[in-house]
Amino acid sequence: MRTIVIGAGPAGLAAARSLAGRGEEVVVLEAQPYVGGRTRSDRERLLHGQPADLGGSFIDLGQDELLRTCAELGVALTPQLALLRADPDGRFSAASSLRNTTVVDGRRLPDADRDQVADEVRAALDACPPDPSELVPAWAARAGLSPLARRLFRALTGFNPVHDDSQIQMSMVEPPHVGKVCWMMADGTDAMARAMSEGLDVRLRHVVRAVRRTGREITVETDRGDFPARDVIVAVPVTPTLRIGFAPVLPAWKTEALLATPMAQGGKVIGQYADGAELFEKVGTGIMSDGPISLVWARPVGPEDSVVLLGLAADRGDGFLRGEESALAALDVIVSAVLGRPARRLAGIVKDWSLEPFAGGVVSSLLGDFPRLPSLLAQSVGPVHFAGEHTADMWATGMDGALRSGKRAADQVLSRRSTAAIAAHAKSPG
């Protein structure tokens, strides 16, 4: 009995692998000409075939589904890195990110000033404990941070979760749940999706228009023909899910849960630079900036002393990510400030996920009604199941959550099978 999986990102591929591994017939329909969804890497535009991770990058300690998948598929990781530094008392707090090298107004902030800002934020976190649901700018205002500390603190949401701070709650940054111990995939993030898709029946360039149920049969309608199925796993992000027609209509609770899960808007500015070893050293755990690029970090030094630096920028409606040259120039300013002389950029890419029609944004923002929302988003509607980073029970909005959600959706398909089998068995005479 066939299952159609819509979307060949990590969630859809995890679902399809899980089902295929248990002898089920699975077809994956992917709108784009590549697998990986928002974990796509570009290998064409940087020198020496270096991968540019356009979307998801980090694996954190504790993301065991992701780590185990890498182990299983032989996906190698970069050496361990950290994106934040502990506070003087050894604890990690929302102030820890502010202990990175910091660039303000295009100039490197002296380390002593930077530490003073971080200490101020840490003291405010202790003196004026944030409510988990309180928005980042609201806490910064209530806590009475100084103008510079407030500006830098609010910039944190530009990389976690790559969004304007006006929708991001304090629980996202305090305490920090990512960035203490992490890795990247050595051959680019989509190495995982590529390895996962091997042996699967993945149909690229198939845009799904509607999912129609009649009796026990489902038809998945694409722009290139119809696919019959017994079960369907919708493993696309929030926005593309809202663009698929469902007959019968999805129940109100499902549509409302999707509408209450806005997607973070923004993207990545990626530059490959000369003087790689020196830059790698100077970038250290990362560069914080007051924007529009809020965090820059380095991949390991590549061939001919080059290094790929990745910057994250939230979309603030000002067109920053739409101007490729100006966005790369903004990255140059930050990199040069840290290098202490004009940096030499060899190649660059700007990726705006808000403009990507089959993504709709960077990641889902589950903070509207967290943590009830992911469980609602994960519920099946009869034989229609839902996977994706927004539906995960743990590490939601991350690659690990995507993989977990795919496995869960596969189990939901199989449990329908066994329930049906039990029913058939009960009915059979004798």
Partner 1 sequence: MQNSQEVPPPVVVVGAGLAGLTAAKTLADAGIDVTVLEARDRVGGRTFTVTDGFADGQHGDLGGELITEDYRALTALCGDLGVELSAPVRIERPDLPEGASPAAGYLAEGRLIVDGEILTGNRFRQAETEIHTALASFPPAPHEVLEQWTRRAGLSDLARAALSGFGRMPTQYDAFQVDSHYLTHAHIGEIRRVVGGSQRLADALAATVNVRLEAPVRAIRQSGGTVAVELESGERFAAGHVVVAVSPFVLPTLGFDPPLPADLTGALTALQRASGGKVIAQYSEGDSVRAALSRAVFTDGPVNTAWVSNPYVTTGPAVVSGFVCGENRYVLEDEDLALAELDAVVATAIGGPVNRLAQHVKNWTADRYALGIGGMPSFAARRPQIAVLATPERRVHLAGDFTDVSLCATMEGAVRSGLRAAGEVLRAPARVSLDYIDRKLVRA
For partner 1, the binding residues (CB under 8 A) are 130-135, 137-144, 164-169, 209-210, 212, 239, 242-247, 249-250, 252, 255-256, 259-262, 316-319, 322, 355, 365, 367-370
Q: Would residue 378 be called left, alpha or beta, if left means φ above 0 and alpha means ψ between -120 and 50 degrees?
A: alpha
Least separation in angstroms between CB 132 and partner 1? 7
Pick 110 or 228: Cβ nearer partner 1: 228
Least separation in angstroms between CB 396 and partner 1? 15
**Rounded alpha-carbon distances, angstroms, from residue 310 to 13, 120, 280, 334:** 26, 28, 12, 12
Pick 366 or 410: Cβ nearer partner 1: 366
Phi, psi (degrees; rounded to nearest 5) at 171: -60, -20
Pick 252 or 426: Cβ nearer partner 1: 252
Q: Which residues contact 273 (CB under 8 A, 6 or more apart)?
A: 279, 306, 307, 308, 309, 335, 343, 344, 345, 346
Least separation in angstroms between CB 346 and partner 1? 28
Least separation in angstroms between CB 191 and partner 1? 31
Pick 139 or 273: Cβ nearer partner 1: 139
Least separation in angstroms between CB 166 and partner 1? 5
Are residues 211 and 246 in contact, defined by beta-carbon separation less than 8 angstroms?
A: yes
Nearest to 241 by CA among 66, 361, 399: 361
Q: What residues does 188 pair with on adjacent strands? A: none
Pick 119 or 164: Cβ nearer partner 1: 164
* Rounded Cα–Cα distance for residues 102 and 51 (Å): 26
Least separation in angstroms between CB 94 and partner 1? 15
Pick 233 or 307: Cβ nearer partner 1: 233
Q: Which residues contact 8 (CB under 8 A, 6 or more apart)?
A: 28, 29, 30, 32, 35, 36, 37, 193, 197, 202, 204
Pick 128 or 181: Cβ nearer partner 1: 128
Least separation in angstroms between CB 167 and partner 1? 5
* Rounded Cα–Cα distance for residues 177 and 56 (Å): 16
Q: Which residues contact 205 (CB under 8 A, 6 or more apart)?
A: 30, 31, 32, 33, 224
Alpha helices, H only, 284-365: 324-339
At 358, the amino acid letter reads F
